Amino acid sequence: MEAEQVTGVDAAAGQPAASAKPRREKIVIDAPDFSDYNGIMIVVEQRAGAAKKVSWQLLGEGRKLAQKLNTELMAVVIGSDVGALAQEAIYRGADKVYLCDSEELRDYRTRPYSQICLHVIATAKPEIVLIGATYWGRDLAGAIATHLPTGLTADCTQLDVDENRLLLASRPAFSEKMLATIMCKQYKPQMATARSGVFLELPRDPSRTGAIIPVPAQMSADEIATEVLAFLEQTERVNLEDAEIIVAGGRGLGGPEPFALLQDLADALGGAVGASRPAVDAGWIGHDHQVGQTGSTVRPKLYFAIGISGAVQHVVGMQHSDVIVAINRDPDAPIFKVANFGIVGDLFSIIPAITKAVQERRQLPFAVAATAKEAVAATAG
C-alpha cells in the first residue's frame, strides 16, 4: 500500500516553514503476509437443527472452487445439538467441519457467533469464507469482516477464482443493470455472501467421510449481553426460496383479485404464490412474493409463470426451476422460450381448470399428496 507524506512543516506553528518547500515522500506500507491462508470455508446457517438451503448450495459451489484451487473445503457449524448437521455437511461436500455445539448457542446472536467464527478463521486460516446472503448471513458476515479486518462482497450471484487464487465475487450493481466483479487483493480471508437459489447443491453422499473438529464456545452465557426471549413466526411472510412449487402471476392478472385464483392453485399443489415486479409495484401483492433480479432467486421443482411475459429480469430469478409451465395469451411471449410446457390462452379459464384437475387427482385414493410430478402430469393432461 502506498501513501504520500508531506514533510517540511513547522511543527510548532502547524504551518509550513517559510523557508522550506513542503517535500513529498512516498511511504510504502507492506501488505500483511497471508501466504499461509489456504482452503475455502462455508459458514452453515441453521435454525432448530435444520440448515438453510443456501448453506448446502454454497458447499456445492465451494467444492467447485476448492477443486480449481486444489485445496480443501471446510464448514463451520454452530448451535446447540447440531452434531448431526456437522456430519450432514460432510455428506454435502465438506472435507472438514469445525463444530461448536453448546446450549447457549441455541439461538443466533451476533457476538457469540462472530467470536466463534473469528476464532475458527484465526485457527484454520481459510483464504475464502462464504456465507448465505440471508438476514442471518448478512449480519454475521459484516461483523466478522469488520473485526478481521477484510473486505466483504455482499449478495453475490457468481463466484469464481483466478490464476492468482483471487476470489472473483460478482454481484448486480448500479440498480442491477450491471454485473460487477469485486476482488479483495490484499487481505485474507476474501469474504462474500451469496444469494440463495443461485448455486447448485451437490447430491447428498452418505459414503463421504471427513473430520469433525470440536471448537469451544468463545463466550460464557453471562458474557452474552443479548437474550432471545421467543421467536414469533411471521406467518404471512412467504418463503419462496424453500418452496418446491411456485405459482407466479404478473401484469396479465390485471389487478389484485385474480391472485386469489393463483392462491387456490398453490394451495391445491402445496406451493407458494410468486409475482413479477409490476404486480408488486402496483401493490397487488407484497414484495416478499417478487421473483427476479430485484426479488428472490428461486429453484423450485415446478414454476408456473402466469400472465408473465418473460422479461430477462424476471427470468434470471426462476430459470433454474426444474419444470416451468407458462400460461400466456400471446403465443410469441418470450416466457415460452424458457418454459418446458406452454399453454396459450386466457389465464382466467385455464387456471380454474388446472386447479380443479389437481383437486380431483388429490381425492383419488392413491394420491396421498400432490407432488410436483403429479402437478406437471395434471397440467400436461
**Contact residues for ligand FAD (CB under 6 A)?**
175-177, 250-252, 276-279, 290, 292-295, 307-309, 311, 313-314, 317, 327-330, 333, 346-348
Specify the residue for cell string 457467533.
113
CB nearer ligand FAD, residue 100 or residue 339: 339
Cα–Cα separations (whole angstroms), residue 5 to 17, 22, 321, 377: 16, 10, 56, 73
Tell me the closest approach of the beta carbon of residue 332 to ligand FAD, in angstroms. Answer: 9
| Cβ-based nearer residue to ligand FAD, 115 or 379 | 379
Handedness of CA 157, 162, 167, 171 (dihedral sign): negative
Rounded (10°) angle between helices 259-269 and 347-363: 20
User: In the complex with ligand FAD, which residue's Cβ is closer, 120 or 350?
Assistant: 350
CB of 179 to ligand FAD, least distance (A): 12
Q: What angle do CA 31, 36, 41 make, to 5 degrees?
A: 105
- Output 270 or 278, the one with its CB closest to ligand FAD: 278
In the complex, least distance from residue 311 CB atom to ligand FAD, rounded to whole angstroms: 4
Looking at beta carbons only, is 132 or 310 nearer to ligand FAD? 310
Least distance between ligand FAD and beta carbon 168 (Å): 23
Q: Min. distance of Cβ 160 from ligand FAD in angstroms? A: 24
Q: What minimum distance in Å lies between the beta carbon of 255 and ligand FAD? A: 11
Distance separating alpha carbons of residues 115 and 143, to the nearest angstrom: 9
Looking at the Cβ atoms of 189 and 295, the one nearer to ligand FAD is 295
Kindly state the DSSP code that residue 340 receives in the 8-state scheme. Answer: S
Distance CA 263, CA 82 (A): 36
Measured from the CB atom, is 187 or 348 closer to ligand FAD?
A: 348
Indicate the DSSP class of residue 74: E
State the minimum distance, in angstroms, from the CB of residue 293 to ligand FAD: 4
Q: How many residues does the chain have?
A: 381
Q: At what angle do helices 372-380 and 347-363 cross, to 10 degrees?
A: 130
Nearer to ligand FAD, 92 or 277 (CB): 277
> Distance (Å, rounded) from C-alpha 190 to C-alpha 159?
12
Is 79 or 307 the residue whose CB approaches ligand FAD more closely? 307
**Residue 351: DSSP 8-state:** H
Q: What is the per-residue DSSP string for 110-178?
A: HHHHHHHHHHHHHHH--SEEEEE-SHHHHHHHHHHHHHTT--EEEEESEEEE-TT--EEEEEEETTTTE
Which triple of cell numbers denotes residue 194?
A: 451469496
> Least CB distance from residue 248 to ligand FAD, whole Å?
9
Task: Work out how close the CB of 174 gets to ligand FAD at its nearest, in angstroms, rounded to a whole number.
Answer: 9
d(CA 174, CA 79): 37
